[in-house]
Amino acid sequence: MNFIVDAMLGKLVRWLRMMGHDAKYSTEMDDAELLAVTKNENRVLLTRDLSLYQQAISRGLNAFYIEGTTEAERLAELTQRFDIALEIDLEKSRCPHCNTKLQSASKEEIEQKVEKNTLKYYSVFWRCPNCGSIYWQGAHWKKIRATFEEAKEILKKKKKLS
């Protein structure tokens, strides 16, 4: 599923990309441009702006109004609405900075760009062919998993209520 995300959801766009979704984002697009891209590229508009959401819906576009304030709440909403998987498989991930599909990289390819300790403790790396960013399942992965767990708990509660 391809998304376009409004300027208020900069964190969420990084999650979506890491989860393998094509998510367009720019802080420079105004409402008219966001609506045009939603239509022309057949994307789902994710927004925190109720009037933008209403404009999109009244034009028959695919849009979703994000109510949650934490990342976990937002991920839970998206999962409930679009049935997306709450997981990151770096084989399918896109670069959180530029939305380009990541490629796996050997240690030799990235050794100049990461710290020695990182090379010592990790052996599997991915690289963005566009912006050159390098990724691995480092210490921050714990936090990512914790956020997914929190989102799953929120989903469970939502299911009980409905």
Binding site for Zn ion (CB under 5 A): 95, 97-98, 100, 128, 130-131, 133
For the CB of residue 100, give the shortest distance to Zn ion in the complex, in Å.
5
Report which secondary-structure segment, H or E, holds 18: helix 10-18
Nearer to Zn ion, 14 or 74 (CB): 14
For residue 152, count other CB atoms closer than 10 A to its CB. 15
Helix (H) or strand (E) holding 72: helix 71-82
> Measured from the CB of residue 133, what is the shortest distance to Zn ion in angstroms?
5
CB of 95 vs Zn ion, minimal distance in Å:
3
Least spacing, CB of residue 56 vs Zn ion, in Å: 28
Nearer to Zn ion, 37 or 98 (CB): 98
DSSP 156: H
Distance CA 152, CA 79 (A): 9
Nearer to Zn ion, 74 or 127 (CB): 127
118/66 Cα distance (integer angstroms): 36
Sign of torsion over alpha carbons 107, 112, 114, 119 = positive
Q: Which CB atom, from 43 or from 94, has the smaller least distance to Zn ion?
A: 94
CA distance 129 to 152: 32
